Structure 1
Amino acid sequence: MMAPLLRRAVAATPAGAPDELRVKHRGTEVVLDAGALRRIRRDLLHRSRRGPNTQRVAAAKAVLAALWEQLASRGAARGEKEAFLEDVAARDEFAVFLNSWWPLLRPVDLLKALGDPDRIDRAARGRLSRDQVTLLSHAWRHTARTGEVSFLDVALLDEIDVLLGPLPRVRPRTPGVPDDDNPYVVDGVDIFTGESVRSAVPADEISEVTTYADRMSRAGRGRRDEDEEPAEYAHIVVDEAQDLAPMQWRMLKRRGRHATWTVVEDPAQSAWEDLDASAAAMADALGDRTRHEFELTTNYRNPAEIAAVAARVLQRAVPGARPARAVRTGGEKPLVSAADADTLPEAARRAALDLLPQVEGTIGVITPVGGASPVADAFAGVPSRIQVMDALDAKGLEFDAAVIVAPETIAHQAPSGLRTLYVALTRATRSLVAVTCDPGWAEGLTGLQVTRANP
């Protein structure tokens, strides 16, 4: 869904672009209306797959050609063509039009423009709900205000970078190339290509006389092919592959078309809501390579007592999944205690403090996603061995003991909630305590008897 949305956003007329171009030449006015400008844009982008940043010269040529066709249809002589093109192309108003109608864009510029919900909706062609459009526009307006992007946006920026094509580079002037007399270089920038031009020609050197056609031909040559080659790798290692979004797989695919891959994943720990979409994106990235699959079946982290509780959640989260076999026993029996919602943070604090003399290492207090701050307030002044974080931040970590706060909330926060809870339960290497506001739900899920937390 996101890839076609971005493709259409790149092809759309930029926000604030003029919807017509009027030009007067020797008393005759010619006009390109919105429909004509849309056709020029559509035809250029349809013929070339290199992106609009590489098509600026072609866009200028196409606009000038369309203007000339109108003028010719009104009786202009063929011999006037080059003079007309020279005249219009050298005008400041044509440079202003071109910069606005066909701007050179960085990927982040387009992402900022998508802070407009109407632009998102048009690019999505109505396939996103109002809530989804609002969520995206809010995130990208934040990017427009602050310049900050999320880790998921990095993959979108990479996709946009490919769609836009490379920006022009600084091009040094060389002897014999008459950029000093080029009317299309304004303040050191070629208005057609967008290139910054540094002078390397002595000020007193005489340049050759050139025509509009000469300059446009030279500008159209652009960058060397070797500058546009994408970076690729011989071997790609992907850890925690279950958490990659489809757009992140597309980003990796571009860098590993001819690579060998090592992919480590556990679908049961995936925070990505749509497992099928993620699996399809991974399959597309890997292509038809021969695969050698190995299943890791041994659990070295958790004692059997904790592993048994986690296995019950796993069966609910990913039906049919086979839990790894714990190789050791002897951990403390997991406990579940009940508390009221208003006393939940304090109950979690007492549970963590009770664990301090039982373990020598760290104690993780794992909250619902986004819920770490309210709980952390109750932990002011506790030893630094006690660490408060939400369930997503706990991924990849391990603690001697873990206190799971409101497991029922973690499970219900998203379609991936039970998988997130499974991850939280498997962080402890020795002791596990859950503090719940819904003892019936917790007992049914974990198979453990629930006790009431001490007041």
Structure 2
Amino acid sequence: MPGHQLAPDISGDDDPSDVLSAERAHLTTSRAALRAMREHAGSLSADAAGDWVSRQVLQGLLDQRVAALADHPDTPLFFGRLDRTGDDDLPMTIHVGRRHVHDDNSRALVIDWRAPVSRAFYQARPSDPMNVRRRRRFGFHGGELTAYEDEPLDQGVPLRESRILTEEIERPRTGPMRDIVATIQPDQDEIVRADLGQTVCVQGAPGTGKTAVGLHRAAYLLFTHREKLARSGVMIVGPNRAFLSYISSVLPALGEVKVDQTTVAGLVGDHSASEDATVATIKGDARMAPVLHRALWMHISKPEEGLLITRGVNRFRVPDHEVREMVASLRGTTRYGPGRAALAQRLAHAVLVRMEQRGESPDDRVQDAVARSKPVKQIIDQVWPRVTPGQVLFRLLSDAEFLARAAKDDLTAGERETLLWARPPRSWKSAKWSAADAALLDELADLLERTPTLGHVVVDEAQDLSAMQLRALGRRCRTGSATVLGDLAQGTTPWSARSWEEVLGHLGFTDGAVTELTLGFRVPREVLDFAARLLPSVAPTLAAPRSLRPGAGSLSVRRTADLAEAVTAAVREYAGHEGSIGVIAADAAVPALASCLAAAGVPHDVLGPDSSPEQRISLIPASLAKGLEYDHVVVAEPADIVDAEPRGLARLYVVLTRAVTSLTVLHVRDLPPHLS
């Protein structure tokens, strides 16, 4: 780290107890230094700023700094160490951790995992040691250092499987998602450290850590491009609020407390009126973009009269043909709102030219006065009327003739008939919009006024977004870049993407790089192989995922006569083991199962779109399971999950891959043929 001196080598001798003692002492010293850093940040005052606004901004920055320096006692401050060969000017010994820590003398005790020198912790290997002779991994329990493991990198000896790494990956979990800084694999690290200017698309099979990779890339970019992204911003977009709650602790644990996390609905408008899937599919199609463009600009009419301005005894006229030329030159070359303002200024300028021709000397104030005058406003309201997105969409969905003219050949007659409201609302203000409408309204809003953009956007479960939703996200990073995450096999919407090139095209990043993660670390192999039987039906072009964890005995598939009783028994059995428990069923079956668990005295949470689970046992509707993980999963009646929606097999694939330790499948009906 520039400007900081690193801690000296504390390797001691080779006695394990001495090594552990030295490393524990370094951990104690580092935690004390972090507390001192936080106390110093908390002692700083914003009073030195010159005015109230500056003081508020500075105080906000100081508060963020204090929050970023929070110590998490149950989380190791550092998880690795590099002993270097000294072939360059870098220090001989580096402790790698979640954030940079230095003492009062600016001597670095822990180096941030995102720093360039820390890259060797993830990438060094005997064939390319990257100037590292030894990599040390640490085992922790409850924040206390319990073990270490050394990997020699300069002897050309193949590395053995890391016990500490395996145990950390398989460690049971409760509560929100954890960071993976201690277990990032080389192929994941390449994605995490991709440059800010590059849009990366990750096709990730279940358990490959694609969500974690996306979050860690956001943290890496914020570290590497702090000043730029502090101005432009970073946003995480997830499929629902339950998912956002699940991942909410990852970035704060990495010291990044100023990152917005939202859903597509949170961005474009949280409209939820019910709508037939056929209608929603048409509205989500990219063909709607030119339809909306025409619908908006069709509101402009041809001027029938010129402009007459009276100032004192003088009258100034701009003929109708000149007004038509102005309108024609602006139409379609700018956004609707700025075009309307520009027309007012052009009309005023034409009047000023005529004033000058009569010997007057008007200035900018006169032009602004003319632009705001009643005659100019009248002609603009007639020719270029003020409209809202809701007004335009209301007219499009309620006026068959207007829809036909706007659609041209982009929509068939049958599709236009499907789109039209059977019973239109009385006005656009009383209209109840659907989630698909929200993306159309957002498209129209951008045609009216330019949407502000961000420096980077991370989009998870992107395969489930419609073309129009993807366009809405692309608008928000048109001058930045994106990290696109998902799995084509887990596409559960009628408009699910069939290729990532298609997704990147709708986002506006046709040059984005597509990377595939097929090696899983979380889902046991026995479970993953069972779920992969569905792949030929849901995503025949994808390679079958592989898992590093054999997971013998992790899968149990049982037919039962009483589903509720079997689910209760399975939950009680899992309650005797460590880790979280998720019961996943078809949405319609959740209330009955919740009643049975409650009657049996089993404490549990029922996961909702906006809820955060507090109990160890969660009952999850299948539609909300995507992106979540549980140590033990009970799946109730797979056939009901398949029957509940058109892409039910894809939904079942999602559900079956939520387990990281064990999976129990209970069924009264026959299993889908693919699983029999």
TM-score of the pair, normalised by structure 2: 0.41
In structure 2, do the counterparts of structure 1 residues 53 and 234 end up closer, same or farther at CA, with 3 Å as the change threshold? Answer: closer
Unaligned runs of 5+ in 1: 26-35, 64-78, 80-85, 167-229, 340-346, 448-455
Of residues 239, 244, 251, the one that matches 2:465 is: 244
The corresponding residue for 2:624 is 393
- Which residue of structure 1 aligns with residue 497 of structure 2? 275
Q: CA deviation at 1:309?
A: 1.4
Equivalent residue pairs, number: 337
Equivalent pair of 1:238/1:262 in contact (CA under 8 Å) = yes
- 5+ residue gaps, structure 2, are 1-286, 309-319, 348-357, 359-369, 605-615
Q: Is the 2:585–2:620 Cα contact (8 Å) retained in structure 1? A: yes
Deviation at 1:62, TM superposition (A): 11
Question: Which residue in the other structure is 2:200 paired with?
Answer: none
Q: Secondary structure at the match of 1:271?
A: coil
Alignment-mate amino acid for residue 542 of structure 2: A
On the 8 A contact 1:404/1:424 being kept in 2, the answer is yes
Task: Return the letter of the residue paired with 2:545.
Answer: A
Q: 1:414 to 1:436 in 2, by over 3 A?
A: same
Distance in 2, matches of 1:405 and 1:370, equals: 12
Distance in 2 (CA, whole Å) between partners of 1:299 and 1:278 is: 20
Asked if residue 6 in structure 1 is aligned to residue 228 in structure 2, the reply is no
358 and 371 in structure 1: CA distance in 2 versus 1, 3 angstrom threshold = closer
Q: CA deviation at 1:420?
A: 1.6
Given the superposition, is the C-alpha separation of residues 299 and 135 from structure 1 closer, same or farther in structure 2, using an over 3 Å criterion? farther
From 382, 386, 395, the counterpart of 1:104: 386
Question: What are the equivalent positions in structure 2 for 1:247-396 lying under 5 Å apart?
Answer: 247-272=468-493, 273-276=495-498, 279-283=501-505, 285=507, 287=509, 289=511, 291=513, 293-326=514-547, 327-337=549-559, 347-360=562-575, 361-368=579-586, 372-373=590-591, 376=594, 379-381=597-599, 382-384=602-604, 385-396=616-627
Q: By how many angstroms is 1:415 displaced?
A: 5.0
CA distance in 1, matches of 2:559, 2:382: 63
> Shift of the alpha carbon at 1:311?
0.9
- Map residues 116-265 of structure 1 onto 2, 5 A cutoff: 116=398, 118=400, 123-125=406-408, 127=411, 137=421, 144-145=429-430, 150=435, 153-165=437-449, 231-265=452-486
Read off the aligned partner of 1:160 and give its amino acid letter.
L
Find the residue that maps to 1:334 and give its secondary structure: strand
Change (3 A) 1:48 1:318: closer
Residue 51 of structure 1, CA deviation: 3.0
Q: Note the C-alpha offset of 1:325.
A: 1.9
What is the CA–CA distance in structure 1 between the aligned matches of 2:518 and 2:618, rounded to whole Å?
30
Contact 1:368 1:410 in 2 (8 A): yes
RMSD after superposition: 4.8
Counterparts of 1:132 and 1:372, CA distance in 2: 37
Q: What's the CA shift for 1:57?
A: 5.7
What's the counterpart of residue 674 of structure 2?
445
TM-score (norm: length of structure 1)? 0.57
- Please give the per-residue CA displacement for 1:149-191, whole angstroms capped at 9, x wherever unaligned: 63x555433321221236xxxxxxxxxxxxxxxxxxxxxxxxx
Using the TM superposition, name which of 364-373 and 262-271 deviates more.
Answer: 364-373
Match of 1:188 in 2: none
Deviation at 1:353, TM superposition (A): 0.7
Question: Contact conserved, 2:391 with 2:428, CA < 8 A, in 1?
Answer: no
One-letter identity of the residue aligned with 1:54: P
Note closer, same or farther for the CA distance 1:256–1:430 as it changes in structure 2 (3 Å cut): same
2:629 and 2:660 in contact (8 A); partners too: yes
On the 8 A contact 1:115/1:144 being kept in 2, the answer is no
1:13-32 equivalent positions in 2, closer than 5 A: 13=299
Q: Is the 8 A contact 2:551 2:661 kept in 1?
A: no
2:516 is paired with a residue whose SS is coil
Cα distance, 1:312 vs structure 2: 0.4
- Aligned residue identity for 1:387: S
Q: Secondary structure at the match of 1:301?
A: coil
Tell me: CA distance 1:414–1:355, structure 2 relative to 1, closer, same or farther (3 Å).
Answer: closer
CA distance in 2, matches of 1:250, 1:240: 15
Residues 36-93 of structure 1 show CA distances to partners (whole Å, capped at 9, x for unaligned) of 9xx9799648733323323336778999xxxxxxxxxxxxxxx9xxxxxx9xx8479x
Are positions 1:421 and 2:642 aligned together? no
| Higher mean C-alpha displacement, 360-369 vs 387-396 | 360-369
Amino acid at match of 2:459: V
Residues 266 and 146 (structure 1), Cα distance of their counterparts in 2 relative to 1, 3 Å cut? same
**Partner SS, residue 498 of structure 2:** helix
Q: For 1:359, what is the secondary structure of its paired residue? A: helix
Distance change in 2, residues 1:414/1:49 (3 Å): farther
Q: Distance in 2 between matches of 1:110 and 1:371?
A: 41
Pairwise CA distance, 1:297: 2.8
